[in-house]
Structure 1
Amino acid sequence: MDSSVVCTESFRVDGCIKSANKKSKISRDVESDIESLYRAVPQLAKTFRIIDKIGEGTFSSVYLGEARMRDGSRDVFALKHLIPTSHPTRIAAELQCLTVVGGRENVMGVEYCFRKEDHVVIVMPYMEHQAIIDIISSLSFEEVRLYIYHLLKALRHIHQFGIIHRDIKPNNFLYNRKAKTFALVDFGLAQGTADTQLELLKDLMGIRKAPRPVFSERNLNNCTLAPSITKLANTSELVNTGKPTDLSNGRSASARRGPATARTPKPQQTVHQPLTCTCFHTDRVCNVCLARKQQVAPRAGTPGFRAPEVLTKCPHQGTAIDVWSAGVILLSLLSGRYPFFKASDDLIALAQIMTIRGSRETVRAAKAFGKAVLCSRQLPRLDLRELCETLRGQRPSPDDEVTPVRHSLGAKSLEETPRPAQERGKAGAGETPSPLPKSQAETPGEKASSGVDCTGTGDERGWDGVPDEAYDLLDRLLDLNPTSRITAAQALQHPLFKDLEKST
């Protein structure tokens, strides 16, 4: 514990809750969660007065806590309570990420850590921030440019250490609009690259584990394999035993059965040719597809931000998946629509990507990283500028019968994105529905009343003069092929950030 924090002041649980209620009303459920946290990690009460619960995810909950510093001042912190079922190595790896790369280059650092049995609380500086969904309709282009620039700086920093964040999204890249500060948070799903500098990420990936033997997890003596298994596998003792092996108990099968006897050779089995899928171009899934062995590959991340190589279960995933997620964020900010992609499963998510990047391009990219993708019909690649300007209402819709999608739909997803006229009337799985007809659309007055600008003041925020460089960078971030996708370091050298890189 840092010496600047006074640790002698103890807060009783009930007193803390009452004091917190004076400043902000919290629900009974939050009160109960705070009380449970104090009971689980009693030492927290000696230092922190937990004020509120400010976030909750699948693997953790985040609380706002206040501590009295040695100089008499009080400071606020974010307390992240990891669920007790989290693997110890995963928790240790997250802490190592925060301590090694945190505290600089727009990456959140760590101040303290508390542990009581299987409960772990990570204490980080609290950063006041605004949710993108709340401010996307009022952002200027310059704010968007700065946001993406600082996100790429954070990615360049962690990628230099061989860290793949794997869950890049606006909720994990905090933005204080007033102070113009940024912070990348939540390394709970982070993995390491093959050359990562973090030892715990190597352990998490299994890089440092002994290689598996060819036959089973055990050797012939029924013992755990030693790290020198690679050397042993080349000896005649292990390979050329001359007897069939019973791997269940480590003894040779002939020793267990006694003397060998002559046996009638079994007839050679007929080799069946693989069956052909019969469900392509249909609205069902055939038995051949259902019987296929499940592919295992990392697929962490939030739906809507997963890269094509994640959606297609490519086993080799690198830092490029973070760059793709940054591209999706930029697409949302340029189009004024968040979240941009919203799908119930990975196949629909891939189909939505095809509607933007093109089916032929998606098939070609998938083939480049060893995956076969089939599409029942051709989807053209869209022009990114035309797409974003149409969604912002700065460009008329391709079809007069369709109401232009205005900036007011900033919180909507791709599920309501208008399609070209020739595409409509062919609804199918993963396709985007037709937009509302004019009779069901909002009037300009209704849009203005919801706090969204529809009076042309968007020009004052720079949206009438977005440079071509912005869409060129977007195109490179959303490269379907991870091997040719621009890196975070390369993106920072893009002409869009020329003046920013010089100033730093």
Structure 2
Amino acid sequence: MELSPLCTDSISTEGCVIKQDRGQRKSKVSRDVETEIENLNKAIPQLAKVFRIIDKIGEGTFSSVFLGEAQMHDGRREMFALKHLIPTSHPTRIAAELQCLTVAGGEESVMGATYCFRKEDHVVIVMPYMEHQAIVDIIGSLTFEEVRLYIYHLMKALKHVHQFGIIHRDIKPNNFLFNRKSKMYALVDFGLAQGTADTQIELLKDLSGLRKQPRPVFGERNLNSCTPAAATTKPAAIKAETLIQLVKSSKTEDPANRKYTAAGRGPLPVRTQSSTQKPQRAVQQGHTCNCYQTDRVCNICMSRKQQVAPRAGTPGFRAPEVLTKCPNQGTAIDVWSAGVILLSLLSGRYPFFKASDDLIALTQIMTIRGSRETIQAAKAFGKSVACSRDLPRQDLRTLCETLRGRRPSPDEVTPLPEANKDSSTACHHNIQDATPTHRPSVQHGAGESPLSSTLPEEPRDSETDCKVEVDERGWDRVPDEAYHLLDRLLDLNPATRITAAQALQHPLFKDL
């Protein structure tokens, strides 16, 4: 794919109108977005010679995504998504994300990278643009068949990246794009990815702590040109594959200076002890504590060294082994997140889980999967979980059909006292997406389920209209296989949780 230099004077204002969700993107953008676009063009001047940046279409914790138009050599105008990574991102993290996109991307519903621009500490990854609809906007109108196809293609994408030893770590609807009209899907955003023990993505070994020897990361000069002789010239667009080669041939970094976390986000915090503080006593080996299953934390537990484990991901989609800080995390955490997505789609509630911290999140999981089952599963992967209340395991079909309003009585889901109040939400749904920057506080009354705070209340026109609409979409004919797969995806024990490859062989997808 070849790009032509773009003269902005020759582009008509009609090129600024992009159809999305059967509507039209306004050609006028806010002043704040215009300022961001201007700053980006100043930061990487070469970018403006190739792309006309039209609008800002996404924003995350570590990046912003813009819509750009480029003129191809054959005269066509094509749209691209331009992902601008925040300048504080670690070079190894950026290069690892690029390597994931170039090695595993471009097939099996996984987004690939086309070009990369860099000047100094500003990096822009260029990817094909795919029009898509946000799940939060269409969840109330989805048919069961659309849900089945969505999960099927998500499993295909996960199987593909897992074959390369990539753990995505941030599976959620916002990162699995869906074009409802063309039935196209795309897994995006490998910014938090890590590698398995046998990963084929070399740079992920650095971020996962799998490599003992330091690996070179790219230097500033090499990225401004594909050849050392042109290192002092203006920055140029380079193909992502070329960038990976530059990464491999760069100078070696002193391991003493590599102070970044497993997620590659910045220096590790250094704990210092004040002169007025008393030094903590070392815990004797084999000395057990006496605060287990009590409402206090003893000095022995307080003096234990804090366990460090990967925690990256979005609240509400983290697996039990992530919430309990299990050090051995694998591709099963992506499968759990896919299970949460399926739970949302079958119940018509998005986001399904919302919690202010990891302990509340674990409690919400217990509300659905049962406290005894959670405790038993945690023990299987070396963790001890205590719960002050016995929470029974829910029947997934009963739960989802009750939340969709297909069951008039909530008696069978007693831990969800408010479920019946909002049985219409499957028809008219309006909830904000739970992103890493959106962490709502949750307060619980006596005897109230922590999950009930995720069930918004919204009036409906009539119960009859809702049920007719849902029936036409196939929600009265959801097979048992759907809930069986959901049960396997939400297996609390990662060792027995179904894999993406196994899920593709599930009876739910037998005709696909």
Shorter-chain-normalised TM-score: which range? 0.7 to 0.9
Give the match for residue 87 of structure 2: 84
Moved more, 273-282 or 135-144: 273-282
Greater relative CO, 1 or 2 (CA 8 Å, sep 6+): 2
Residues 5 and 69 in structure 1, CA contact (< 8 A), matched pair in contact too: yes
Give the match for residue 499 of structure 1: 511
Give the match for residue 3 of structure 2: 5
Say yes or no: does 1:406 pair with 2:423.
Answer: yes
1:203 is displaced (CA, Å) by 2.4
Residues 162 and 331 in structure 2, CA contact (< 8 A), matched pair in contact too: yes
Residues 414 and 432 in structure 1, CA contact (< 8 A), matched pair in contact too: no
Q: 1:169 aligns with which of 167, 172, 175?
A: 172
Give the match for residue 309 of structure 2: 297
Residue type of the alignment partner of 2:38: E
User: Which structure 2 residues correspond to residues 336-415 of structure 1 after superposition, within 5 A?
Assistant: 336-399=348-411, 403-408=420-425, 410-411=429-430
TM-score by length of 2: 0.76
Return the alpha-carbon distance in structure 1 between the equivalents of residues 340 and 168 of structure 2. Answer: 15
Residue type of the alignment partner of 2:147: V
Return the alpha-carbon distance in structure 2 between the equivalents of residues 336 and 433 of structure 1. Answer: 15
Residue type of the alignment partner of 1:276: C
Say yes or no: does 1:145 pair with 2:148.
Answer: yes
Return the alpha-carbon distance in structure 2 between the equivalents of residues 270 and 193 of structure 1. Answer: 33
Distance 1:446 1:48, change over 3 A: farther
Give the match for residue 236 of structure 1: none
1:486 is displaced (CA, Å) by 0.3
SS at match of 1:72: coil
SS at match of 1:81: strand
User: Which structure 2 residues correspond to residues 187-266 of structure 1 after superposition, within 5 A?
Assistant: 187-210=190-213
TM-score by length of 1: 0.77
1:349 is displaced (CA, Å) by 0.2
* 1:438-490 CA-partner distances (Å, limit 9, x unpaired): xxx75542899xxxx61522111000010000000000000000000000000
Give the match for residue 28 of structure 1: 31
Return the alpha-carbon distance in structure 1 between the equivalents of residues 66 and 463 of structure 2. Answer: 35
Residue type of the alignment partner of 1:299: R
Say yes or no: does 1:102 pair with 2:119.
Answer: no
Residue type of the alignment partner of 1:380: P
Q: CA RMSD in A?
A: 3.2
Give the match for residue 327 of structure 1: 339
Moved more, 292-301 or 340-349: 292-301
1:208 is displaced (CA, Å) by 2.3
* 1:361-386 CA-partner distances (Å, limit 9, x unpaired): 00000000000000001110000000
1:73 is displaced (CA, Å) by 1.5
User: Unpaired segments of 5 or more residues in structure 1?
Assistant: 212-223, 227-268, 416-422
1:20 is displaced (CA, Å) by 5.2
How many residue pairs were aligned?
424
SS at match of 1:339: coil
Say yes or no: does 1:426 pair with 2:443.
Answer: no
Residues 168 and 190 in structure 2, CA contact (< 8 A), matched pair in contact too: yes
SS at match of 2:56: strand
Distance 1:388 1:369, change over 3 A: same
User: Unpaired segments of 5 or more residues in structure 2?
Assistant: 18-24, 215-253, 257-281, 435-443
* 1:378-427 CA-partner distances (Å, limit 9, x unpaired): 11000000000000000123349964531425445999xxxxxxx99524
Residue type of the alignment partner of 1:426: G
Residues 141 and 462 in structure 1, CA contact (< 8 A), matched pair in contact too: yes
Say yes or no: does 1:276 pair with 2:293.
Answer: no
Q: 1:308 aligns with which of 315, 320, 328?
A: 320
Say yes or no: does 1:112 pair with 2:92.
Answer: no
Identity among equivalent pairs (%) = 71
Return the alpha-carbon distance in structure 2 between the equivalents of residues 414 and 276 of structure 1. Answer: 41
Residues 81 and 121 in structure 1, CA contact (< 8 A), matched pair in contact too: yes
1:294 is displaced (CA, Å) by 2.1
Distance 1:18 1:45, change over 3 A: farther
- Bigger Cα Rg: 1
Residue type of the alignment partner of 1:492: L
Give the match for residue 61 of structure 2: 58
Residue type of the alignment partner of 1:162: G
Give the match for residue 157 of structure 2: 154
Residues 393 and 404 in structure 1, CA contact (< 8 A), matched pair in contact too: no
Return the alpha-carbon distance in structure 2 between the equivalents of residues 435 and 340 of structure 1. Answer: 8
Residue type of the alignment partner of 1:445: D
Residue type of the alignment partner of 2:351: P
Give the match for residue 486 of structure 1: 498
Residues 336 and 407 in structure 1, CA contact (< 8 A), matched pair in contact too: no
Residue type of the alignment partner of 1:201: L
1:10 is displaced (CA, Å) by 4.0
Distance 1:397 1:277, change over 3 A: farther
Residues 63 and 79 in structure 1, CA contact (< 8 A), matched pair in contact too: yes
